[in-house]
Homo-oligomer: A and B are copies of this chain.
């Protein structure tokens, strides 16, 4: 026999353990898009305590919709392995292009990150960073519902050695860090803003731009191009995945 009250208790006890265990982690990844999920998988596999914080109910970011709601993504040969090693079916589309199902891709990148040991908190928004001196030392979070409803409620803080901004085009974490904490490592010291679509260039720069833009704060994926004033790429995801991989490697090397 099932007892509703026991259901409440079992859920909350599990959550409570999880919440307290994750109040201080090694790496916080804001945004569960393809770059963030790839970084999370590699970091967690290497033994890091990783917490992914996703604003929406569903992780996956802009990958679900493929291009113009046609649920297909494109991938280049050199990043194909990052889809295949999590079990995603990659089809040869000719001329050096490969495609994959956008829905399958999200599901498996997500499952793989969790299997590697990363934790995902969804419906939670990173609203600010926590500072210790001139270093980002964690993330300030609140329920997304509280934010959307415009309720006046204080946030809480989760500590981390590194915070990764994987929030995409808006580069929310870099934006708030620049506005509230100081200059970023960019030409103008600010978020430069993404430039017009140019897949060939954007795919290359997204990996080059991946890195630490403020002590303790890394930027990956489309957020990296947005922060550094580089082109956007559209529904081609190779550079994104490589960017997540690069950030993970750099953090592991510290």
Contacts and interface: CB of A to CB of B under 8 A. Distances in A.
B110 A140 contact: no
Contacts of A107: 106-108, 110-111, 114
Interface string A88-125: 00010111010101011011101100110000111100
A82 interface: no
A50 to B, nearest CB: 14
B11 A199 contact: no
Nearest to A111: B107
A140 B234 contact: yes
For the side of the interface on A, what is the size category? 35 or more
Nearest to A234: B154
Contact of A193 (B58, B142, B180): B180
A8 B91 CA distance: 16
A7 to B, nearest CB: 5
A69 B235 contact: no
Contacts of A115: 87
Interface of A: 1-16, 18-20, 23-24, 56-62, 64-74, 76, 87, 91, 93-95, 97, 99, 101, 103-104, 106-108, 110-111, 114-115, 120-123, 128-132, 138, 140-149, 151-159, 168, 176-177, 179-181, 193-200, 203, 231-232, 234-236
